[in-house]
Amino acid sequence: MAKIALGVASSISIYKACEILRGFQKEGHDVQVIETRNAAALIPPALFDALSGRRTIVELFDDRQPWSVAHVALAKEIALFVVAPATANILAKFACGLADDFLSTFYLAVRTPVLIAPAMNEAMWIHPQTQDNVRRLRERGVEFVEPAGGYLACGDEGQGRLADPQRIIARGLDLLCRGTGLRGKKVLVTAGPTREAMDPVRYLSNRSSGKMGFEVAREALRRGADVVLIAGPVAIAPPSGLEVVPVTSAAEMKEAVDKHFSGADVTVMAAAVADFMFRAPAVRKVKKETLPAGLEIVRTPDILKELGGRKRPGQILVGFAAETNAVEAAARKKLREKNLDLIVANDVSREGTGFEADVNQAVLIDRRGKSRKTDILSKRALAAVIWDAVEGLREKKK
């Protein structure tokens, strides 16, 4: 049995929150309802009190609550935070980090998975501001069950109806069962490219966007791990709730990895560390008129191989292989040579997947040589497949 916080905002579809509450209870979970003040004007807390068997929380400063700082205390107790229905207003508040009532303050304190089911008039839903808020929340790792199309309470037709409560319950349960496998485990993830300076303005790098590594970190967080994310220079926002160590060069990445590796139960090296660097980067900008005759390029340190050489028993090391031909053979070689437990190989020569894309297709090969090719998946879904495989390996190691 898990404890779930159910946030309820003042949408006309608020009555469906009762079905969602009952659905989680039927699966044996304990539900604490949090209403916004406006929601409490539509359905008074007494109804949710009776259904949940718990006093519904509305006010931030409520001396009837047994906890001293209730939003923080409750945030530590729950395994899942569901907001259904979510208004345009609450999405905007979450996206900006506004914390002027219990529900929005609670959102900032929560470190468990967050699932939001918005409901509103279609014009409000498709408004660029609302869509921007949803995008920002997704980037932070929030999961959504999107509103459905059809007849809206305001009389309009369009997208904006709260998704079917059964779908919301099913997604919540799915997040819950993924939610605990890594609890208490320390996970180290590297992501993004590195930049190797030629001079103070130019560098050598690669096309890695960091999206895959960020999704791997986000999924580990969702499963309860304490996550350190070492990120090269990327244009995307990191998920909240983890420690981010920003680095630029391969040497900096190595230093950061060395610092965190020994304490990690699982290390996933998803960064595309530049293979080459300039032996002696110029201290001043090299003038284009004076192109140096020989810019000497040398290998960067092989971080993954070094880790493979010194990992302790029970520690799991996962590598990535981005290849353009004979992908699987190259990945098997890398798995062996670098003493990895799992390698995730993908063909980066294919259009539309891999670097920069939101989707990826990979072959996962584990240390016993067992391989599995995935379909074309979102990077978020692929991250879940990777963690399922890692958890399978951990169980066998016990």
| Catalytic annotation, residues | 154
- Between 12 and 108, name the residue whose CB sits nearer to ligand FMN: 12
- Between 90 and 277, name the residue whose CB sits nearer to ligand FMN: 90
- Between 147 and 193, name the residue whose CB sits nearer to ligand FMN: 147
What residues contact 311, with CB distance under 8 A and at least 6 apart?
267, 317, 339
Q: Give the total of residues touching ligand FMN (CB under 6 A).
A: 15
390 touching ligand FMN, by CB under 6 A: no
- Segment near ligand FMN (CB under 6 A), from 8-16, 66-74, 211-219, 371-379? 8-16
- Between 123 and 236, name the residue whose CB sits nearer to ligand FMN: 123
- Segment near ligand FMN (CB under 6 A), from 9-17, 219-227, 266-274, 307-315? 9-17
Min CB(343)–ligand FMN separation in Å: 46
56 touching ligand FMN, by CB under 6 A: no
21 touching ligand FMN, by CB under 6 A: no
Residue 267: strand pairing partners: 188, 317
- Whose tokens are 């993004």? That residue is 192
Min CB(11)–ligand FMN separation in Å: 3
The site string for ligand FMN over 109-148 (x = CB under 6 A, - otherwise) reads ----------xx---x------------------------
Three-class DSSP labels, the chain: CCEEEEEECCCHHHHHHHHHHHHHHHCCCEEEEEECHHHHHHCCHHHHHHHHCCCCECCCCCCCCCCCCHHHHHHHHCCEEEEEEECHHHHHHHHHCCCCCHHHHHHHHCCCCEEEEECCCHHHHHCHHHHHHHHHHHHCCCEECCCEEEECCCCCEEEEECCCHHHHHHHHHHHHHHCCCCCCCEEEEEECECCEECCCCCEECCCCCCHHHHHHHHHHHHCCCEEEEEECCCCCCCCCCCEEEECCCHHHHHHHHHHHHCCCCEEEECCECCCEEECCCCCCCCCHHHCCCCCCEEECCCHHHHHHHHCCCCCEEEEEEEECCCHHHHHHHHHHHCCCCEEEEEECCCCCCCCCCCEECCEEEECCCCEEECCCEEHHHHHHHHHHHHHHHHHHHC
Query: What dihedral do alpha carbons 172, 173, 177, 182 form, nearest 10°?
Result: 20
256 touching ligand FMN, by CB under 6 A: no
Among 32, 36, 249, 300, binds ligand FMN (CB under 6 A): 36
39 touching ligand FMN, by CB under 6 A: yes
Min CB(96)–ligand FMN separation in Å: 13
- Segment near ligand FMN (CB under 6 A), from 7-15, 24-32, 76-84, 165-173? 7-15
Among 6, 90, 137, 357, binds ligand FMN (CB under 6 A): 90
Residue 344: strand pairing partners: 320, 364
Among 22, 30, 38, 122, binds ligand FMN (CB under 6 A): 38
Among 32, 52, 56, 89, binds ligand FMN (CB under 6 A): 89
User: How do 266-269 and 243-246 pair as beta strands?
Assistant: unpaired
- Between 98 and 393, name the residue whose CB sits nearer to ligand FMN: 98
The site string for ligand FMN over 318-347 (x = CB under 6 A, - otherwise) reads ------------------------------
Among 32, 52, 56, 87, binds ligand FMN (CB under 6 A): 87
Min CB(138)–ligand FMN separation in Å: 18
18 touching ligand FMN, by CB under 6 A: no
Question: Which spans of this chain sit near ligand FMN (rule: CB under 6 A)?
Answer: 9-13, 36, 38-39, 87-90, 119-120, 124
